[in-house]
Amino acid sequence: MIENNPIMRELELHLELFKLSLLSENGLSEKTTKSYTSDIKLFFEYFHKAIFEINTADIIEYLAELYKTGLAPSSISRKRSSLISFYTYLENANQKINIEFDKIPSIKYDYHFPDVLTREEMLDLLDKYPTDNPQNIRNKTILELLYSTGMRISELINLTTHNIYQKEMLILVTGKGNKQRLLPLNDFMLDLIKHYIKNSRITYMTPKSDDTLFLNRFGKKFSRMGLWKIVHQTVLEQGIIKPLSPHTFRHSFATHLLEAGVNLRIIQALLGHSSISTTQIYTNTDLRFVIEEHARCHPRK
């Protein structure tokens, strides 16, 4: 029990302040903040030592034990980041710690490169999607918007009708850490949204519906599973063999822009990545394209 454990009581006190720092100063989301604090609690359940008794060797030992359990390197890397963030916070709060951050080894792992469709496959999928009834109009608009803007599934779910700026041809999305960004809409996408609002969304509205842009059959906001079902049904109906998920549209958006020569920094801004290193995984998604372009363009053929 926490109330009978002075170590855990002290930890809870510091974690509350740490969470406030992550939310207000670092701009992290509630979900990410909970993950960080959960990681830290698990660490102290393993060691049963006071916060300021923990040293560098303890953290290294803990990460090594996690590795032995077969935990995914990406998960171990996050737990490492959680602990370093916590002790960095304590150090910045003028607390005396025994951690040498540069001696904690980074976690190396191979990236799983995103599943993408080629430009031809994506356009074929979208062009074949029917628009013969309100449900198909809505579903096609969702898939087209995911590919047109590269927004995250959670960002699309939370869109409202007020996020569409028709005159400016922009759409406002709220990403991780409640950071907002404006994304461009081309004529085709804007016309499709207007068509959906006029001919499809109105059929899903109920007296309890709010201003959510995309409504499910109950007149409410979609869940992530609800969107996944739309994509899954598309796979079945069109006989697509490649793995496909809602995120495939975001990955394909980024890859196709990169193939077209768009600067990586612009793609970073469009995707809402806080770090360019996250965006750089797309530089490895289509080596075939790079090889072909090199062969086509280099003067020493």
Active site residues: 152, 176, 247, 250, 273, 282
Residue 270 CB coordination number (10 Å): 19
Angstrom distance (rounded) from CA 179 to CA 291? 37
Nearest 10 degrees: CA dihedral of 45, 49, 50, 55?
-110
| Residue closest to 63 by CA, chosen among 109, 8, 11, 104 | 104
Which strands make up the sheet holding 164-165, listed edge to edge? 164-165, 170-174, 180-184
Tell me how far CA of residue 184 lies from CA of 33, 150, 192, 254, in angstroms.
30, 11, 14, 14
| Residue closest to 231 by CA, chosen among 125, 109, 133, 80 | 125
Q: How many CA atoms lie within 13 A of 227 on its CB side?
A: 24
Count Cβ atoms within 10 A of the Cβ of residue 11 and give its class: 0-12 exposed, 13-18 middle, 19 or more buried: buried
Which parts of the chain are beta strand (E)? 164-165, 170-174, 180-184
Task: Give the tokens for residue 141.
Answer: 């608009």
Ramachandran quadrant class, 178 (left: phi over 0; alpha: psi -120 to 50; beta: rest): left
Angstrom distance (rounded) from CA 146 to CA 222? 14
Residue 268 CB coordination number (10 Å): 19
